[in-house]
Amino acid sequence: MAIRTAGALVLAAATAATACGGGSSATATRAGLRGTVIRGPTAPVCRTGQSCSKPAANALLLLTRSSRPTVRVRTDAGGRYRASLPPGTYRVTIPRREGMSIAPRSATVTAGRTRRIDFRIDTGIR
């Protein structure tokens, strides 16, 4: 019984190591984007000394690359996002309910690297 259990543990450990890709090679293939999304202006009149923008909590970003399906990424309560993506250049858009437009409108993902890109959503408030 003890030999059977030990054999099962060795097999499970070997399977887990193979599935994870083993160490640095798994890390080298990771790629994507991360950053913060800010929404503004948040009021029709901006006052000196007061911020006229705020983190875009729970905002939806749509990342599209050529004919592939669109990747949907939602920000957290602090406006932060993270997306694991294959390398390539993505068009970045938002649903109309999020605001008028987003900048920048594109983002390039490089193999083996998570790139920081911060976005700004224009609310259209004037």
How is the chain split into domains, by residue range? 1-30, 32-122
The CATH number of 32-122 is which of 3.40.50.1100, 3.40.1440.10, 3.40.50.720, 2.60.40.1120? 2.60.40.1120
Report the half-sphere exposure of 92 (CA within 13 A, side-chain side). Answer: 25
Encode pLDDT of 71-120 as tens digits: 999 999 999 999 999 999 999 999 999 999 999 999 999 999 999 999 99
Are the C-beta atoms of 126 and 43 separated by less than 8 Å?
A: no
- Tell me whether strands 32-40 and 119-122 are parallel, antiparallel or unpaired: parallel
Q: Taking the CA atoms of the chain, what radius of gyration do you get in angstroms?
A: 21
Are the C-beta atoms of 81 and 62 separated by less than 8 Å?
A: no
Encode pLDDT of 64-76 as tens digits: 998 888 999 999 9
C-alpha–C-alpha distance, residues 65 and 67, integer Å: 6
